[in-house]
Amino acid sequence: MRTFDLTPLYRSAIGFDRLAQLLEQRADAQPSYPPYNIELVSEDKYRIVMALAGFDRSEVEIVAERDTLHVTGRKQKDDTQRTYLHRGIAARDFEQRFQLANHVKVTTASFDNGMLTIELVREVPEALKPRKIAIGGGDAIGSGENVQALEQRQAA
């Protein structure tokens, strides 16, 4: 088996912080059914597109729980006796799990022409966003007047 150096992905992953680790684990641990794409739509928006040929909307379930997204497909049993000359469409039950980065939320999901599209967005709370701290000068560094002046300047 070939080994790939995924170090550059660790530096540039935005949103899916553990993407490279998951790719390494998934390469051996899980089958690639159903096929899917993960797209970076914009800086804080992502899209997962899964090809679900043979599935109906009612047979697919999406559950977002904490930092995990579960996509499950349960094919309804068809009692019709069929003789296949070639069977290339799997249409078998599946369960796919995606590990989501911190503050990534599922916004919408749609199913059209056998393609399941899941939209995600990264929403960092204001309290966790970086903020610029003004640096005061002079001898009154710790005085209440200096702190009030800094707060007024930041509010303006």
Do 62 and 100 touch, CB atoms closer than 8 A?
no
What does pLDDT average to over the chain?
77
Instruction: Say which CATH number the domain at 98 has.
Output: 2.60.40.790
Q: Which domain holds residue 117?
A: 7-155
User: What is the DSSP code string of 8-45?
Assistant: HHHHH--S-TTHHHHHHHHHHHS--PSPEEEEEEETTE
CA distance 155 to 144: 17
Position 90 in a domain = yes
The DSSP output letter for 150 is H
Do 118 and 45 touch, CB atoms closer than 8 A?
no
Q: What order of strands is seen across the sheet that includes strand 60-65?
A: 60-65, 68-73, 94-99
Position 1 in a domain = no
Position 14 in a domain = yes
CA distance 32 to 71: 13
Kindly report the pTM of this predicted structure.
0.62
Give φ, ψ of 56 to 5 degrees. -105, 155
Q: What is the pLDDT of residues 17-54, one digit of tens each?
A: 455 555 555 545 555 788 999 998 888 899 999 999 88
Query: How many domains does one find in the chain?
Result: 1
Position 2 in a domain = no
Q: What is the pLDDT of residue 48?
A: 93
Q: What is the pLDDT of residue 51?
A: 92
Residue 89 pLDDT exceeds 70: yes
Highest-confidence segment of 74-83, 84-93, 109-118 = 109-118
Q: What is the pLDDT of residue 12?
A: 47
Position 147 in a domain = yes
Q: What order of strands is seen across the sheet that includes strand 45-51?
A: 36-42, 45-51, 115-122, 104-112
